[in-house]
Structures are given as C-alpha cells and as structure tokens.
Amino acid sequence: MSELNKVVIVGLGLIGGSLAAALRKARACKEIIGIARRAETCQQAMRMGIIDQAHTDIASVLPSLGKGDVVFIAVPTLSVRKIISALKNAPKELVITDGASVKGSVYQDVVTEFGYFPENFVLGHPIAGSEKSGVEASNEDLYVDHRVILTPCSENRPAAIALVSAMWQSVGAEVLEMSVADHDTVLAATSHLPHAIAFSLVDTLAHDSNNENIFRYAAGGFRDFTRIASSDATMWRDIMLANRESVLEAIDLFSSNLNRLRDAIAHSDATALAGVFNRAKFARDRFTKMLESRAYSSSMQNTESKNVVYTVQPGGSVQGTIRVPGDKSISHRSIMLGSLAEGTTRVKGFLEGEDALATLQAFRDMGVVIEGPDEGNVTVHGVGMQGLQAPSGPLYMGNSGTSMRLLSGILAGQQFESELTGDVSLSKRPMNRVANPLREMGAQIDTAEEGRPPLRIKAGGGLKAIDYTLPMASAQVKSCLLLAGLFADGETRVTEPAPTRDHTERMLQGFGYQVNRNGSQVSLTSGGKLFACDIEIPADISSATFFMVAAAIAPGSDVTLTHVGINPTRIGVINILQLMGSNLTLSNKREVGGEPVADIRVQYAPLKGIKIPEEQVPLGIDEFPALLIAAACAEGKTVLSGAEELRVKETDRIQAMADGLVALGIACETRADGIIVTGGQLTGGSVESFHDHRIAMAFTIAALRANGTITVNNCANVATSFPNFVELAQKAGISLEINYS
Ligand code: S3P
C-alpha cells in the first residue's frame, strides 16, 4: 500500500468516519484529512483521533493534493454534486471516489459538472450501512469482511481503480466490480425496496389513531422488520429520487405480489399461501446460512471459494447404532413425481442435502407449492402432468448431476423454454448422454462445448417415443428417458446393458403409472396420470457405506445402520464387502413404500483383496471411493475393472482416489476403466477431495487405519449428500475436526 499517501474524506458520517477510523487502525495511509460542513463535526472527529486535520471546505486543501492521494466523497447522494463541482479544479493526478448508494446519478453529475468523465474518478459503493448515523457511530471494523462494489467506467485509468481497491482492501473489505446499471438494479431490489417498505410500514402504523398501543404491544416481528426505518431520512429520500426508475420497477413488482397474497387471503387459498410462505422461508433460511459463513462475502455466491478442511486423528474404532439421512436418488424422484401428480404427496425421510434441495427449488421455481423440508417431512402439492409453469430464470442444479439429467427429461416435454445450470464441477460433466436421445425424441437442446452444461431446452414441439439402447449402464439416463416418455407420443422403451437402480420405475408404479419390464428392457406409454401418494424414504445405502467400511477396516468396531434401503440394484457394496471377508449381517428386513429396507450390522474382520465382479459395478457405483479404502486395508490386491463411469462422476473418482491413496503410502495402478490397489499401511498426510463429497468422506474414514493425521481438503460439498456426516462420524468414534482456510 506504499502508494496510498493522503486520504481526504468529505463527509464525516458513519461511512466517512468509519473509513477514517479503519485507515487509522490499519496505518494504511500517511495522513487522513476530514472535511465536514459543521465545525462541531470536525472537532468531534479530531477529538476521537480518527483524522489528522479537519476543514469545513474542500477547496482549501485541494492545492496540497496530488499523486497517490485519494478523495472519498461520503455525503448523502443528492449532495454529491456540490462536492463534485468543488473538485473541478482538483489536480489531475488526484484519484477521486465516492460511496453513494446510487451510481447512475453520480455518473451523470460528474459528466454534467466536468463536461466529461475524468480518468481518475472511480465510482464506488461500500455495502456496510447501518441504521446508526453521525461521526459518533464511526466503527473502525465496519468494513471488515464487507463488500465494496466499484463500478468502473471505460474512461477509468486502471491504476486509479487499483488505488481505490487497495484502499478498501487495506481496511478488510472485499472489492468487486459491476457495471453502473447492474449496480443500480441490484441495489434497488436488495436495499432500496426494503427501506421503502420499512419506512412506509412504520409511517402507516404511526398514523393510526392507536399508534401508542401499536408501538407498546409491537412484538418482535415489528421490531425486526422495521429496524431500518430509523436510518437517516435525508439519505434515503435522496436514494429513492436518485434511483427512481429502478426503485419504481421494484415497487411495482412487489405491489403486484402483495396483491396476489391479499387475494389468496381473501379467498382462503391455503395452498397459495403455503406456496408464498414456504418459498420465502426456504430462501431466507438459505440466506441465513450464507450469512453465518461470512457476512456479505463471496461465500454467498460460491461455497467452493472456502476451503473446508477435515482433520482426522489416526486410529480408533466405530461403535453404535446409526441412522443415516434419506436416500438421495429417491428424494429427487419424490419431488419430481410428487410435482407431476394430481393431489398432495407427503414425503417422510427426505434428504435435506444440497442436491435434493436443488431439485426441490427447481420445482418451486416452476410454480409447485412445496411445504418443508421440516425434519425430513415434505408436502408436495402436485400440479398434474401439464401444470408446471415457466421458471423466471435458469434453474440452478448446484452440484447435482441427477437433478440435471432427470429434469432435462421432464423439461423436454414442456411447452416452455428452460435452462439448466450448475456449479463448476457439474458444468464439466457430460450431458450429451441425455441430450442426444432426447434429440432423437424430437427435443431441441443446446449445450455448451462437448455437451457440457448449461442445457438450453427449447419450447417443445411435441416428443415422440423411441426405443433406445443405453450405451452405458446409467440410471440417470434411463430415468431421464422414462420421464420424457411420460410426455412423448407412444411407447418409450429403454434397454440397459446391465441392471441399474430402478427407483424411478418403482416410484412411477407407486404413483399408479404402469411400467413394464421385459428382461433388460423397461417401457411405458404416455397419456397416463400420476396420483399422489405417501412416500417413506429409506436411509441412503450410499451414505451408510462410509460407516459400513469404517467398521469393516477398524479393529474392535461394531456398528448397526438402521432402516437402510437394500434395493437389489443398490447392494453392490454389501456383496463386495462380503466377498472381501467382511462380517456383515442383515436383519429386520421389511418393505417401506415399495422399497426393501433392513438393518445392517458390520463387525470388524480382516479383509482380503479380491477381483471385483464387473456385474457388481453398477450396483455399487457410488460406493467405490469407500470400497477402495477397504481395498487399501485388505491383504493383497483388489482389482476394479469395468468402472469407466467413475471417471465422469462429481470428479474423476479413479484418479482422485489413486492420488489420495498414493499420498497416504498405498500402491495403486490406474486403468482407463478401473484401478488396482495393493493393501498396506496407510500413513498420515494431506489429500485433495476435488470438491467431491464421496472422496472427502472416504479419506476421512481412512484415518481409522492410518498411522498419522489425515487432512482432507475442500470438503464443503459433503453437504450435498450427507449434511450431518461430521456429527455422526464423531459420535461413532472418529476423531474428526472441521477447520476453514
Ligand atoms: C443416480 C444414478 C447414478 C449415481 C448417482 C445417482 C440416480 O448415476 O451415480 O449418484 O439417482 O439415478 P449414473 O446414472 O450416471 O450412473
């Protein structure tokens, strides 16, 4: 920051005063000069020790300023122009920036006053207000972990932008850039509209003749909701006027939604009300979680930016009775079919992980009223086969390949256009495996290069049924085509090269839709209806796997996993562990909602390496990260082949496991379609999960047999499938700690 010389702060209110205090604390510049209209404010700031000099007029300091100096204008939006006018004679090298909440009006003022836009004038806006105002409210930590938006213009000199960025970064802020127009639209919705509503609500209530009583008895709701109505009145008057057009648009949209809510109340329309309240609650809860991780920080947009590190101490064993969360595959399908059904579907045991929630949100975005999730309970108010509505923007699928692939089948059959997007990992995954057969059915689908997301699905001109043989064993592709088949003309037939999970077929039948199976072929005919039903989701065998393998490798272990789904198309892990010599028993076998479940007990027994039978691969496809840890702890070699699909999961799981195992001292040989692991002593070390939830959890349990501490990097995505993994792992006996870096 050697470049930052003097900083002149014009306006010593909360924003200006706090910058002065923060610069002082950070010793980020040589001199801080304060300018305030009122002499008392100047004296107060001097008394507080946050500035070195105080003046009541900027003109007197201008001649002493030059290169490396910055003027920060922190006066109410509509007073900015007066200051700009006074700066017309400023030395050319002086960098000027501002903190006004509206950028379009300041841009105009600058151009009007100067007659052009100066290269050293960098527009900015620190997002760090508070209902407090005045120099007394100055807070030296106000900007720490808060965002500052700069809205540079094409006229700006890069060095001027860099100097302003550096100033904000020196006080702990995160600087990001946007266009002037984007800034004003975003802020109108997220800040200006809420302030307009809060001021108006308090004004409405204060006019009531009983207002004394209203304020006296006002419960927490009033207090929470209207806190911002005690913000600076002049400042907010100015902001509304300066950002008039965008604020009007935001108010109009809100008014029409409020009227819709009014109608729903007037007509006692409980479903519509549940829709608004559940959508809003879900959105707010999500926002709260984001705020908890870091207020107004980049983690709000990209959880991958934060490295969640698991540190696991070596040794120990696992004990106890554990119920892992609901099955991910079945959770996705319960929302999809529940939405397309007629009537209300009640789901129990829904997985509240990010992936299944992405599916849930997508259907909310298409107008389906979904209540919950609340401790695994979800109520879906089905809209019928033709009832989905066009979403207002792209449907965001996060990390979830299942959401994107299955939804593309449903969306191909709709009369509206849609776009499916995902996170960094999902954006690299192959989608032509669904897009190509859907195109054969008549769908128009655009993808990014090489069939990667986003997927753009054009408004349907009607699908026709096809007879399709899957080139790979994939339940997602099979399910996608069956779901598209619900909307296609005729009988859709899908033949699979090897059995894959059949939850879609089972659940369709549970919803009263006829599905035929003939050997390796599944078929259905369009034109039917789905009827709502109750669904109980078993515990996810893919999540249970981590504890099954943990018990299988750690001497002295004995765990029982309850209520686990043991659908025959999912039990590869049970078969493989038993072939390796694991002491694994099933009890209490029963059926819930068309799916078999059982309790699975695993007690430690020495494992031996095996050649994994290829027909078991699709039946345990998600379980290989954990199974390869079992292989590392077994005596001799374990050979996995016929598993090329592992290379296109959330990450290339063959390479990711090989990298991690080698880092922990285990010999591995990779093949295009598999891996050979030679059992041995796991050492401690640091491994990369590549943001893949199952890689992260696999290396966590590996520590049970390691002779040193294992750290696993980038574990945030464990929340996609197993949100309480850490808690259950700790309870079972794994010494696991979470750190952030
Ligand atoms: C899934 C199918 C499998 C599996 C995924 C879930 C499903 O994917 O790996 O976690 O719910 O249909 P593929 O169909 O790509 O094998």
Average pLDDT over residues 719-740: 96
Sign of CA dihedral 107, 111, 114, 120: positive
Shared domain for 136 and 255, answered yes or no, is no
The conformation of residue 64, written as its DSSP 8-state character, comes to G
Residue 138 CA to residue 598 CA, distance in Å, equals 62
Q: How confident is the model at residue 293 (pLDDT cuts 50, 70, 90)?
A: low
**Closest Cα to atom 9 of ligand 1:** 622
User: Cα separation of 714 and 660, whole Å?
Assistant: 13
166 falls within a domain: yes
CATH number of the domain to which 231 belongs: 1.10.3660.10
Is 71 in the same domain as 47?
A: yes
pLDDT in tens, 3-21: 799 999 999 999 999 999 9
Question: Listing from the earlier edge strand, what are the strands of the sheet with 558-565?
Answer: 319-322, 558-565, 595-603, 583-592
Given a contact cutoff of 8 angstroms between Cβ atoms, the answer to whether 319 and 326 are in contact is: no
Query: Is residue 544 located within the same domain as residue 529?
Result: no
The answer on pLDDT for 152 being more than 70 is yes
Say what the pLDDT of residue 295 is: 35
Among the listed ranges 6-20, 131-145, 306-320, 661-675, which one has the minimum average pLDDT value?
131-145
Supply the CATH number for residue 359's domain. Answer: 3.65.10.10
Whether 297 maps to a domain, the answer reads no
Distance CA 137, CA 126 (A): 16
Amino acid 207: pLDDT: 79
- Report how many domains make up the chain: 4
In this structure, is residue 93 part of a structural domain? yes
Given a cut of 90, whether residue 78 has pLDDT beyond it is no
Measured CA to CA, the distance from residue 3 to residue 490 in angstroms comes to 72
> What domain range is 249 assigned to?
189-265
Tell me what the mean pLDDT of segment 193-209 comes to: 89
Taking the CA of residue 332 as reference, the ligand 1 atom at the shortest distance is: 11
Which of these three, 502, 536, 570, is where a domain ends? 536
Nearest to 352 by CA among 282, 423, 422: 282
The DSSP annotation for 471-538 comes to SS--HHHHHHHHHHHTTEESEEEEE-SS----HHHHHHHHTT---EEETTEEEEETT---B--EEEPP
**Residues 637 and 629: beta-carbon distance below 8 Å:** no
My answer on whether 484 and 369 are in the same domain is yes
User: What is the reported pLDDT for 219?
Assistant: 66
C-alpha 545 chain-centroid distance: 25
User: Does 387 share its domain with 400?
Assistant: yes
Write out pLDDT tens, residues 476-530.
999 999 999 999 999 999 999 999 999 999 999 999 999 999 999 999 999 999 9
**pLDDT value of position 291:** 63
**Cβ count within 10 A of residue 210:** 10
Residues 13 and 99 in one domain: yes
Q: Say yes or no: CB of residue 479 within 6 Å of ligand 1.
A: yes
When pLDDT is cut at 50, 70 and 90, the band that residue 287 belongs to is confident
Kindly report, residue by residue over 176-197, the tens digit of the pLDDT. 999 999 999 999 999 999 999 9
| 151 ligand 1 Cβ < 6 A | no
Mean pLDDT of 690-710: 98
Instruction: Tell how far the Cα of 475 is from the centroid of ligand 1, in angstroms.
Output: 5
- Which active-site residues does the annotation give? 622
The CATH number of whichever domain residue 152 belongs to comes to 3.40.50.720
- pLDDT band of 305, cuts 50, 70, 90: low
* pLDDT given at position 285: 84
Q: Is residue 83, in this structure, part of any structural domain at all?
A: yes
On whether residue 282 sits in a domain, the answer given is no
Distance 271 CA to ligand 1 centre (A): 33
Q: Which of these, 721, 674, 670, 669, lies nearest to 695 by C-alpha position?
A: 721
- Band of pLDDT at residue 613, cut at 50, 70 and 90: very high
Last-in-domain residue among 536, 554, 577: 536
Give 652-689 pLDDT, tens digit per residue: 999 999 999 999 999 999 999 999 999 999 999 999 99
Distances (CA, A) of 415 to 443, 457, 612: 11, 10, 46
Residue 278 burial by Cβ neighbours in a 10 Å radius (0-12, 13-18, 19+): buried
- Does residue 331 form part of some domain? no
For the Cβ of 474 lying below 6 angstroms from any atom of ligand 1, the answer is yes
Please give the distance, rounded to the nearest whole angstrom, from the Cα atom of residue 649 to the centre of ligand 1: 9
Closest to 163 in 3D by CA, of 311, 320, 28: 28
Residues 447 and 497 occupy one common structural domain = yes
- Return the pLDDT at 270: 94
The two structure tokens encoding residue 682:
């796991």
Cα 618 to ligand 1 centroid, rounded to whole Å: 9
Average pLDDT in the chain: 94
Query: What is the number of the ligand 1 atom nearest to the C-alpha of 504?
Result: 12
Give the residue, 375 or 302, on which the prediction is more confident.
375
pLDDT in tens, 516-575: 999 999 999 999 999 999 999 999 999 999 999 999 999 999 999 999 999 999 999 999
Least-confidence region, from 209-223, 429-443, 555-569? 209-223
- 3-state helix/strand/coil string of 593-649: CCEEEEEEEEECCCCECCECCHHHCHHHHHHHHHHHHHHHCCECEEEECCCHHHHHC
Of 366, 137, 344, 294, the closest CA to residue 231 belongs to 137
Question: Are 579 and 629 in a shared domain?
Answer: yes
Question: How many residues comprise the chain?
Answer: 741
Average pLDDT of 295-301?
34
Cα torsion 10, 11, 14, 20: sign: positive
Amino acid in the structure at residue 559: V
Please choose, from the candidates 7, 226, 24, 10, the residue with its C-alpha nearest in 3D space to the C-alpha of residue 142. 24
* Ligand 1 contact via 659 beta carbon (within 6 Å): no
Are 409 and 394 in a shared domain? yes
User: What does DSSP assign to residue 304?
Assistant: G
What CA–CA distance (Å, rounded) separates 463 from 465? Answer: 7
Burial of 301 (0-12, 13-18, 19+ CB in 10 A): exposed
Predicted local confidence at residue 296, as pLDDT: 33
- Phi, psi for 127 (deg, rounded to 5): -90, 80
Q: How far apart are CA 472 and CA 621, in angstroms?
A: 12
Final residue before a domain boundary, out of 505, 536, 567: 536
Residues 593, 523 share a domain: no
Q: Indicate whether residue 543 lines ligand 1 (CB < 6 A).
A: no
Same domain as 714, residue 629 = yes
What percent of the chain has pLDDT above 70?
Answer: 96
Which segments within 265-412 are labelled E, that is strand?
A: 308-312, 319-322, 342-348, 369-374, 377-383, 395-396
Query: DSSP code of 326?
Result: B
For the whole prediction, is pTM greater than 0.75?
yes
Q: Is residue 620 part of a domain?
A: yes
> Would you say the CB of residue 475 lies under 6 angstroms from ligand 1?
yes
476 CA: nearest ligand 1 atom? 14
- Residue 327 belongs to a domain: no
Q: Is 645 in the pocket of ligand 1 (CB under 6 A)?
A: yes
Residues 152, 16: one domain? yes
**CA 278 to chain CA mean position, Å:** 18
- Distance between CA atoms of residues 220 and 324, nearest Å: 37
